[in-house]
Copies of this chain bind each other. A is one copy, B any other.
Amino acid sequence: MTHRPYHHGDLRAALLTHAEETLKERGPAGLSLRELARDIGVSPAAPSRHFKTKQALLDALALEGFDRLSALLIAAQDEAGESFAERLTALTRAYMGFAAANPALLNLMYSVKYDPSVPSALAKASQRLPELAAQLIEDGQRRGEVCQGPVEEIGLPVMAAMHGFVALAIAGGIQADAVEQGLKNTVAFALRGCAP
């Protein structure tokens, strides 16, 4: 019989995986380091080698979330057409998809910030989305499909509309069967807001 080796192999990754599952099912408060350890089959104190505190685990989860989200959004744009409208639609749809699949994670990603003790890596990761929006706008301006002006001034409202829509959708402010139509309306609204 092969007894479990003393070292897990990749406990850190296992913790993150299980943690995200629990987060989805029971929220941040329902997440217990000890329970994670039990599920994975290590001692109660083992997780502390990788995440000093529970908050550190949550931060890592959020950071990973930003990584995945920005990768997803970039991929969505690469697969989309070239017009600004197509790209904005693709981006919003991808964002909505991520949010629908990981509502609790998205919430976590945007929950930690007002805390003064934000890990700098997290703060930096959260800035990547506005940058992505800025790039999209800049591209649209070059194509003459977006009005001229400082990129940040146009990008922020666009970003706000997209993020707000997604946030409201997962918060239940939008009925599930109205999401698709709402998404189209919001994108159309944003397109008019920054039309040349």
Residues of A within 8 A of B (CB): 27-29, 54-55, 103-104, 107, 110-111, 113-115, 118, 123, 126-127, 129-130, 152-154, 156-165, 167-168, 170-174, 178, 181-182, 185-186, 188-190, 192-195
Chain B min CB distance to A188 (Å): 8
Q: Is the CB of B110 within 8 A of A114?
A: no
Decide: A174 near B156, CB < 8 A? Known: A111-B107, A114-B107: yes
Closest chain B residue, CB of each to CB of A169: B160
What are 15 sample pairs from A and B whose C-beta atoms fall under 8 A apart? A107-B114, A110-B167, A110-B171, A113-B171, A130-B168, A153-B181, A153-B185, A156-B165, A156-B185, A157-B165, A157-B186, A159-B168, A160-B162, A161-B161, A163-B168
CB-CB under 8 A from A170, the residues of chain B are 113-114
Q: Is the CB of A160 within 8 A of B165?
A: yes
CB-CB under 8 A from A192, the residues of chain B are 192-195
CB-CB under 8 A from A190, the residues of chain B are 157, 161, 193
What's the dominant secondary structure at chain A's contact region? helix
Chain B min CB distance to A55 (Å): 8
Decide: A182 near B156, CB < 8 A? Known: A126-B171, A127-B173, A172-B118: yes
Q: Is the CB of B161 within 8 A of A160?
A: yes
Chain B min CB distance to A184 (Å): 9
Decide: A157 near B171, CB < 8 A? Known: A163-B164, A165-B164: no
CB-CB under 8 A from A188, the residues of chain B are 157
Cα A134 to Cα B107 with chains together (Å):
26
